Amino acid sequence: MGGLVNYVIRRLLFAIPVFLAVSVITYLITNAAGDPVQIVKFGIRNISPAQLEYLRLYFHEDLPVYIRYFYWLNDFLHGNLGQSLYTGSVVALIVPWIGTTLELQIPALALALAIGVPVGIYSAKHQYTKGDYAITTTAIFGISMPTFWIGIMGIIVFSYYLHWLPAFGAYSSYPPYWWGSPFMDALAHIILPLAVLTLVSIATITRLVRANMLEVLRQDYVLAARASGVSEFKVTFKHALKNAITPVVTIVGLSFGVLLGGAPALETTFSWPGLGKAFVFAATRLDLPTVLGITMIITIMVLIANIVTDLAYAVLDPRVRIT
Amino acid sequence: MTEAKPATKQRGASQAAVAWRRFRKNKSALAGATVVGFFIFVAVYGVFFAPLPSRSFWCLYNSCADLPPFQNWAHPLGTEPSGIDVFSEILHGALGDLYVGVVATAISVLIGLLVGALAGYRSGVSGALLLGITQIFFVIPVLILILLFARIGQLLVAHGLGLTLIVVILGIFGWPTIAFVTRGEILRIKELEFVQAARSLGASNTRILFRHILLNVLSPIIVLASLLVAGNILTEVVISFLGFGDPSTSTWGLLLQEGFSYVRTSWWVSVFPGIAVVVAVLGFNLLGDGLSDALNPRIRE
């Protein structure tokens, strides 16, 4: 157990410099994008010199950029992400967006695992049969499509042509609700984006599980287990799967970052009010503090996901803890 | 040395022959190679078949805007309400996507090989540092940072660079996987007998690294590069779709972005460029998978 604790501490210590490196780079690039005072100025009619001077002091423009960064870092670590250049404080804007993004991502990941892992095992066990060819062909199509484009196709077919499902948003703000009640309305809104995200994730997970399973099934100890009369079911699920699943855990943890990163296009397509859409909107109108805030929040979420993955990996595979 | 050369050459040829035989047997790999060949052909010669020049609004002034597909054979895939011809634009866009996919991958492969070779060949502090930098890229939200760089780079360099800006950004963010794999392979290969033999013959470090090791590392890198081209095309499509690309060069992502604003009425502007993306990306993915099967020595015939 001591090895495990040590391992987790080491991963945490790796996360801190990564966070700092990303924050420095993001801070510098948003700083290079332009002067926030000039952007805010457009929103205020007849701005007075006193107001301008106040804005300049607010953004610490009298100080060099490396000192400003530490002001920002101090605020960030105290949970203050500053004010949006348009309206409201960034924290108040971001917090509900985190919820809506996870509301879409976590069920998608869970569904994709529940379907993708068994399908991958089936495909590996029946290599070079018709079922395997059907699965691998579908999966390679799945990873070759832009996620948001499948979303657009879904909107064209199910919303504009068949009128079965709503085309955008996470809920209707006022009646008439889809399918009767506000709850069913939210359900109607989530079906299409959730289905698209799940399908794409299933493709990735199935391919991974299949490849790892094939690699493991080819190994000598599986042959030895079979030779000593262990049933095929036990060989697959007890001997092979245990070793095939460990790399999958890592990749799923990493792909959580990819999922979150893939969120901008999909959320924009469905007008899903989450972090990704907010990021695109803020970046388009150069809302620099919001862009910086969202980037760092997503970075932290991905780092946490990675640490959790590493932990799961260390529990599953004792060898990892030593090195 | 002159005597050793024919021997290595012969062995290399036979390895390549084995790989080629396996590749030829693999139907999906052949299909992938065909699609990739067709894509490159369209990208290079598409200009000659396209009815209209790139980003041309000709139809807006010649009463053929917002045509549905398969009705007017001068505009087989229809036109946008703004007058842009979808078929021409797909042909022109192929070049943009090929450029982004291939050149960004080339940059990534160069950086990745260099970093991976150094990290693998040099143990000690510099190797550990390079490995650490490589690992950082695996735990950060890369696409978000790519979008941020694309958006702000677009502002800072105006439209001077166009697609090249995206190429450079994708190239800079794509190398870590290649470096990681290169390092692993080098750590494995440098302990093998033939490297020890070369060293005992007095070959220099540089010679061993470039002549003996890198050549053996290449096969997994070719596979990764093919998959990376596919990934880069997908990322370019996302960047342009979100409006962070170059609005004056034809790419499929830009066409999809325009299509999405008319999606309610003119579905064809969203459908056809998407199919083009899927076909091209599928080609590179199939090619990569096929190469991986053909070049993997662990899979016995």
- The CATH number of the domain holding residue A132 is 1.10.3720.10
> Based on the structure, what is the number of domains in chain B?
1
pLDDT value of residue B204: 81
| Pair (A279, A148) in one structural domain | yes
B217 located within any domain: yes
Q: Is residue A8 part of a domain?
A: no
Residue B196 forms part of a structural domain: yes
CA distance A58 to chain B (A): 23
How far from B19 is each of B125, B188, B301, CA to CA, in Å? 38, 21, 11
CB pairs under 8 A between A and B: 129
Whether the CB of B136 is below 8 Å from some CB of chain A: the reply is: yes
On whether the CB atoms of residues A245 and A316 are closer than 8 A, the answer is: yes
Contact B281 A145 (CB under 8 A): yes
The verdict on residue A193 lying in a domain is: yes
Closest chain A residue to B293, measured at CA: A211
Expressed as residue numbers, the domain containing B47 is 21-63+88-295
CB atoms within 10 A of CB B124: 7
A291 vs B208: CA distance, rounded Å: 47
Report the b/e string of A24-34 with b at 16+ CB within 10 A: eebbebbbebe
Hey, is the C-beta of B230 within 8 angstroms of any chain A C-beta?
Answer: yes
Residues of A in Cβ contact (< 8 Å) with B281:
144-145
Residues A133, A193, single domain; the answer is: yes
| Record: contact A283-B141, CB cut-off 8 A | no
The residue to which tokens 């662990």 are assigned = B298
Residue A321: per-residue pLDDT? 62
What residues have CB less than 8 Å from B16, skipping those under 6 apart?
none
Domain assignment present for residue B153? The answer is: yes
Cross-chain residue pair B242–A258, CB shorter than 8 Å: no
Amino acid at B110: L
- B141 touches A: beta carbon within 8 Å: yes
Q: Cβ of B282 and A149 within 8 Å?
A: no
Contact A22 B282 (CB under 8 A): no
Query: Which of A35, A136, A143, A144 to mutate against chain B (most B CBs within 10 Å)?
Result: A144
Residue A146 domain boundaries: 91-246+254-288
Q: Which of the residues in chain A have pLDDT under 50?
A: none
Distance CA A15, CA A105 (A): 23
Domain boundary, last residue among A89, A108, A125: A89
- My answer on whether A153 and A273 are in the same domain is yes
Query: What is the distance in angstroms between the Cα of B154 and the nearest Cα belonging to chain A?
Result: 10
CA distance A299 to chain B (A): 6
Would you call B81 helix, strand, or coil by DSSP?
Answer: coil
CB-CB under 8 Å, A264 with B144: yes
Is B162 within a domain? Answer: yes
How many angstroms separate the CA atoms of A153 and A62, rounded? 51
Q: What is the signed CA dihedral for A163, A168, A170, A173, rounded to 10 degrees?
A: -80
Question: Residue B154: which residues within 8 A CB-CB, separation 6 or more?
Answer: B165, B244, B246
In the stretch 197-226 of chain A, residues with CB closer than 8 A to chain B read: 218
State how many domains chain A has.
2
Which pLDDT score is estimated for B7? 47
Beta carbons within 8 Å of A58's beta carbon, 6+ residues apart: none
Quickly count: other Cβ atoms within 10 Å of residue B45's Cβ: 13
Q: Is residue B69 part of a domain?
A: no
Identify whether residues A117 and A26 lie together within a single domain: no
How many CB atoms are located within 10 Å of the residue B6 CB?
9
DSSP B61: G
Q: Provide the shortest C-alpha distance from residue B36 to chain A (in Å).
A: 13
Which residue among A32, A269, A280 places its CB closest to the CB of B152? A32
In a domain, B54, yes or no: yes
Q: Is A302 domain-assigned?
A: no
* Residue A176 and residue A97 share a domain: yes
The three-state secondary structure class of A154 is helix
CA–centroid distance for A91 within its chain: 19
Q: Which A residues 106-165 touch B at CB under 8 Å?
A: 137, 140-141, 143-146, 148-149, 152-153, 155-156, 160
Contacts of B243 in chain A (CB under 8 A): 284
Contact check, Cβ <8 Å, A15/B264: no
Q: What is the DSSP string of B10-55?
A: HHHHHHHHHHHHHHHH-HHHHHHHHHHHHHHHHHHHHHHH-SS-TT
In a domain? residue A297? no
> Where among A59, A89, A119 does a domain terminate?
A89
Q: What is the pLDDT of residue B8?
A: 47
Nearest to B52 by CA among B78, B96, B87: B87
The reply to whether A318 touches chain B by the CB within 8 Å rule is no
Same domain, A32 and A43: yes
Query: Does residue A159 fall inside a structural domain?
Result: yes
Please, which residues have CB within 8 angstroms of residue B73's CB and are 6 or more apart in sequence? Answer: none
Contacts of B264 in chain A (CB under 8 A): 160
Whether residues A69 and A124 share a domain: the answer is no
Same domain as A69, residue A106: no
- Report the chain B residue with the minimal C-alpha distance to residue A17: B136
Could you tell me if A70 and A120 lie in one domain?
Answer: no
User: Under an 8 A CB cutoff, do B143 and A264 touch?
Assistant: yes
Question: Angle, nearest 10°, between helix axes A130-144 and B268-295?
Answer: 120
H or E element at residue A2: helix A2-33
For residue A231, the model assigns a pLDDT of 81
> Which among B126, B295, B120 has a CA at the least distance from the CA of B219?
B295
Residue identified by tokens 């993004």 is A101
| Selected residues 49-68 of chain B with any CB under 8 Å from a CB in chain A | none
Cα distances from B286 to residues A128, B43, B226, in angstroms, run 16, 19, 9
State whether A80 and A109 are in the same domain.
no
Tell me the ipTM for this assembly.
0.88
Do residues A152 and A266 share a domain?
yes
DSSP classification of residue B138: G
In the prediction, which pLDDT does B301 show? 42
A28 and A85 housed in the same domain: yes
> What pLDDT score does B3 carry?
44
Query: Which residue in chain A is spatially nearest to B235 when comparing CA positions?
Result: A146
Positions in chain B short of pLDDT 70 = 1-15, 158-160, 297-301
Sequential DSSP letters for A108-126 = HHHHHHHHHHHHHHHHHHT
Residue B274 near chain A (CB below 8 Å): yes
Interface of A with B in 48-107 (CB under 8 A): none
Phi–psi pair at A89, nearest 5 degrees: -90, 150
With beta carbons under 8 A apart, name residues in chain A contacting B278: 141, 144-145, 149
The owner of tokens 């296009």 is A265
Distance between CA B283 and CA B36 in Å, rounded?
5
Evaluate whether B155 touches A33 at the Cβ level (below 8 Å): yes
B261 to chain A, any CB pair closer than 8 A? The answer is no
Give chain A's length: 323
Q: Tokens for A110?
A: 């869970």
DSSP string, A71-112: HHHHHHHTT---B-SSSSBHHHHHHHHHHHHHHHHHHHHHHH
Does residue A125 contact residue A232 with C-beta atoms inside 8 Å? no
Please provide residue A272's backbone torsions phi and psi, each rounded to the nearest 5 degrees.
-80, 120
CATH of the domain at B129: 1.10.3720.10
Structural domain contains residue B71: no
pTM assigned to the model: 0.89
Is residue B76 assigned to a domain? no
